[in-house]
Structure 1
Amino acid sequence: MKKIKQKINDIRLQNKLVIIYVVTGLIPLIVLFVFAYCQMRNILMDRDLKSIKGTIEQSVTTVDGQIEVYDNLSNYITFNDTLSGVLSYDYKSTYEMYNQIVTTFDPMLSSLKYFHNDINRVTIYVDKAIKHDTTIAPIEEIKDRPFYNSAAESTKIQWFVDEDSRTLVSARKMSTLDQLGILGIMYIDVDYDSMMSSFTGGLEQNCGMVVLDADGKVICSSDTFENNNTRYRLNSKKLLSLIDGAEWDNDTCGNTEGYSVVKKESSVTGWTVYVYEPRKLVLRSANSMITMIVVAFVVAVAGAAAASIFTTGFITRRINKLKNSMAKVENGDFDAVINTQDKDEIGDLIHSFNSMTTQIKNLITQVYEGRISQKESEMRALRAQINPHFLYNSLSLINWKAIEYEQEDISEITLALSNYYRTSLNKGKNILSFEQELSNMQSYLKIQQIMHDNSFDVVINVSEEVMPCESLNLILQPLVENAIDHGIDLLTDRKGVITVEAKMQTDEEGKKLVCVTVSDNGVGMDKETAQNFLTVQSKGYGARNVNDRIRLYYGESYHLEVQSIPDEGTTITIKFPAKPYNTKN
């Protein structure tokens, strides 16, 4: 024992320092780099799952909105007494029947396809009916179709989807005809590819998707695997066997035989969407990080060995600096940098460490460069949720009524207004001038005043200097819609007034801002409701979406402000930078 101790004491200090540093420093470095890698891997997986979950939720919301529109159309036709009268009337001649079908029946059904391009066909199948174009057909034509028995027994709207034949149809028994003792089935054929593109179009790279109906039948499947990654593709049967009995954390299954799976069930259709992603492909982006860590580790050890030639105090002082910086990196601070002008071995080690943290930070940035576009997608998704169906359905109703009463001039005006509204969507652009945004809001208020028999007044006070400023599209309409639905419509003791004001302001830093307020003298809100108005606890999403879009586009410091007093009214204020509108935006 004494001999061993003596041999250790006889080792030169330089070599002894090298041995001590390697023994005491090598293990912490390994632990640090392994910990850093594990942390980065977990961050990659968590953020990827959140991205997939956001995409799938938006896809389901979009499809639900489309299905609800077609359900509303089906309800309108099914309970329309005019159409039922045409089909059930005892005509004296074929000419009289044909005249009623052409002048009344055909225009009403054809207008559905005009306003909704995704509809392939609208047909009413009636027992012992004549065959006329695609609008009327004898019920014998569909008695061998899979949906016939179910549709003939219930007036409830039922959707039938077949992936193999790529069909998506709605069928139901018409209650108005059923009351007259006539069997009639309302049939709407919707374009399968257009509807399912909401699921398949937003699918991220190297992911697969399967959609099941309420009975567990596969109605849509797709994937985005390419080249050598196609071996990770799962067929519907394999995916369902993997998730059978899997443990779910809410709507997420983190690791099912090497796959991460996210699901979302629609409350409208009962369909369930499953999206899966191989974990290996997600973690493949971290391979370069592993190489960099190994290289940095080798450099650190070499630098430590070279630094041992200096005095213990000099080495210890600089090693402590390095150790403190490593502790910051371990806590996730990759901006930790050691300032030094030394060019010796320890100086090289310090420079290598600085280079390592910079490379780690750059690698993280590179890995998530693809995620930067996520905010833009979220913004477009939020804009997509601002449902234009109000005007479409209003125009459709006006057009149908005009045709029903043979008011061709009103029908023409309605169709012209429909064309104007399509143009007012700004060709899909998110930016327009404030003057255009104000004009769109005024058009909306004009229709609302007509629908409400001018039961409320509108006051608009807008400064001319804000007119040429740029504005996000559709930020005023949701606010005035909210003022009408939740404020003005609930008044019983006074006439409602909506006031819209816009003027230029200057903030504390001297920057010019556009300040817009939308006020109403409605029933107002209590303090708790006002506080939750822009949060997920709110029942509506119009104002919340406007708030989210402004924050996403202009930054977190810009958002909606809500002030409300019960029984007195509500005021919503918007502030955003005053920038001149560029037509190239």
Structure 2
Amino acid sequence: MLPIITFGVFLYGWILQTTSEDISKNAVSQIKFYLTDFANEIERLKLLQYGLLEDEDLNEIVFTWKTMDNIGRMDKINMLSKRLSMVQNSSMYIKEVSVHIGPISKSVSSLTGVGQFDAEKYDGIRPVYGAGSQIIDWNDGLYLSALKQSTTEGNRPLFIIDIELDTKKLGEALNQFNTYTGSGTLLISGKSDFVLASGSTVYMKQAALDLVRGLGQASIETSHTYELSGNRYYMANANSKSLNMSIYRFIPEQIIHKPLNKIYAWAWLLAAATFVFIALYAISTYKVIHKPLLLLMRSFKRLENGDLNLVIEHGTKDEFGYLYGRFNQMVDTLRNLINQVYKQKIMAQRAELKQLQSQINPHFLFNSFFILSTMAKNRGLGANRVIYEAAW
């Protein structure tokens, strides 16, 4: 049974490892799929943003603002606002679309309409490299920013178009990964380390961030557990180079162990039943085989020591019952043979003694008569008198 128990322990460990790897791989594939889908959405938003850069109404506002009358200006602003609203409504991830126009010192928003030029935001979300669009972290928000350069070198851009991503919607999207009780998800964006947490990581955001930074992207293994705020978690991660974003999923260790609790309980039950079976088997083996065999061996030793008054009994009619019967029969036969040989030997000795006696008696009698005859002659007595005295 020991190999079976050992195999059971190995099988349990293998199932636990396989289950954790499967859950981790599934978690990684889910977040990779989400990042790919999100990256495609961002690319679509970039195309819309590039389209706004060439919008006729926007460019007319920039270049002909001073020559327009108030009605023309209002008409162009309204058309631009509608276009911004259309872009905003095209995706659930867009919170607001704004255009910051430097030459006229105006900012147009899809939510608030025309407002004063927001110089702080203009400088904060200004793209670093040329006219390319990229995700920028500013003031706890994420922005897609694109600009149109001035024709005069060294001047500020003519205008900047920014699309503010809705972090609330992003958080709701991250919640879809928190399918297990106590699990959490962490999104880290770019070099600015913009962090968005959902699920249990909301309450341990800094601890999770410190863990990720401490491990590094290359050293994270999804099949291992990591301690976080006193609990152990399996961590799955995926990153997108195009978005410069990474998502980390934290799955409690007990979630993976929970489906195996029944197997664990059955394993203990099987182990207990196995030990009971082994004990019963050992006891039954002792009673059925070892004990009768030991009695037979002791009986042979007593027989070797000359004990012929030996009878052994067995309660059941099995193989040992047959052996015990043959043993008793052997002892009885041996006892009878010994008795026969002993009696024959005694009878032979008696016969030999009688034979010797029969040989000794005539010789002794002749010698006696010869002595008596000699004594009678020496004493001058009569033979009859001498015989009589001798007999007396």
2:30 aligned with 1:50 = no
For 2:60 and 2:91, the matched residues in 1 are separated by 25
Deviation digits for residues 282-312 of structure 1 (CA, Å, limit 9, x no counterpart) = 2244334323212212222323443567789
- Residues 155 and 270 from structure 1, CA distance in 2 versus in 1: closer, same or farther, beyond 3 angstroms? same
Which residue identity does 2:80 align to in structure 1? F
Which residue identity does 1:247 align to in structure 2? S
SS at the partner of 1:151?
Answer: coil
- Residues 239 and 248 from structure 1, CA distance in 2 versus in 1: closer, same or farther, beyond 3 angstroms? closer
Tell me the residue number matched to 1:197: 172
Structure 1 position 166, deviation (Å): 5.3
Which residue identity does 2:243 align to in structure 1? T
Tell me the residue number matched to 2:370: none
Structure 1 position 60, deviation (Å): 0.9
Q: Within 5 Å, give how 1:257-268 maps onto structure 2.
A: 257=227, 258-268=232-242
Tell me the residue number matched to 2:216: 244
- Residues 59 and 203 from structure 1, CA distance in 2 versus in 1: closer, same or farther, beyond 3 angstroms? farther
Which residue identity does 2:234 align to in structure 1? S
- Residues 65 and 238 from structure 1, CA distance in 2 versus in 1: closer, same or farther, beyond 3 angstroms? same
Tell me the residue number matched to 1:212: 188
Which residue identity does 1:217 align to in structure 2? D
Tell me the residue number matched to 2:9: 34
- Residues 54 and 61 from structure 1, CA distance in 2 versus in 1: closer, same or farther, beyond 3 angstroms? same
SS at the partner of 1:203?
Answer: coil
For 1:295 and 1:123, the matched residues in 2 are separated by 67
- Residues 44 and 308 from structure 1, CA distance in 2 versus in 1: closer, same or farther, beyond 3 angstroms? same
2:43 aligned with 1:68 = yes
- Residues 96 and 272 from structure 1, CA distance in 2 versus in 1: closer, same or farther, beyond 3 angstroms? same
Structure 1 position 123, deviation (Å): 1.9
Tell me the residue number matched to 2:267: 293
Structure 1 position 132, deviation (Å): 7.0
Deviation digits for residues 376-420 of structure 1 (CA, Å, limit 9, x no counterpart) = xxxxxxxxxxxxxxxxxxxxxxxxxxxxxxxxxxxxxxxxxxxxx
TM-score w.r.t. length of structure 2: 0.60
Does the CA contact (< 8 Å) of 2:171 and 2:198 recur in 1? no
For 1:237 and 1:202, the matched residues in 2 are separated by 18
2:127 aligned with 1:151 = yes
Match of 1:221 among 183, 197, 204: 197
For 1:183 and 1:75, the matched residues in 2 are separated by 14
Deviation digits for residues 458-500 of structure 1 (CA, Å, limit 9, x no counterpart) = xxxxxxxxxxxxxxxxxxxxxxxxxxxxxxxxxxxxxxxxxxx
Does the CA contact (< 8 Å) of 2:108 and 2:115 recur in 1? no
Structure 1 position 134, deviation (Å): 2.5
Structure 1 position 200, deviation (Å): 2.8
For 1:129 and 1:253, the matched residues in 2 are separated by 57
Match of 1:277 among 238, 242, 251: 251
Which residue identity does 1:235 align to in structure 2? A
Does the CA contact (< 8 Å) of 1:118 and 1:190 recur in 2? yes
* Percent of aligned pairs with the same amino acid: 14
- Residues 242 and 276 from structure 1, CA distance in 2 versus in 1: closer, same or farther, beyond 3 angstroms? farther
SS at the partner of 2:18?
Answer: helix
Count how many residue pairs are aligned between Structure 1 and Structure 2: 279
2:142 aligned with 1:173 = no
TM-score w.r.t. length of structure 1: 0.42
SS at the partner of 2:173?
Answer: helix
Which structure shows the bigger proportion of residues in helix conformation? 2
For 2:217 and 2:166, the matched residues in 1 are separated by 35
Structure 1 position 234, deviation (Å): 6.8
For 2:73 and 2:123, the matched residues in 1 are separated by 31
Structure 1 position 167, deviation (Å): 2.5
For 2:128 and 2:233, the matched residues in 1 are separated by 43
- Residues 80 and 233 from structure 1, CA distance in 2 versus in 1: closer, same or farther, beyond 3 angstroms? closer
Does the CA contact (< 8 Å) of 2:133 and 2:146 recur in 1? yes
Deviation digits for residues 47-87 of structure 1 (CA, Å, limit 9, x no counterpart) = 21122112211221222122112111111001334521232
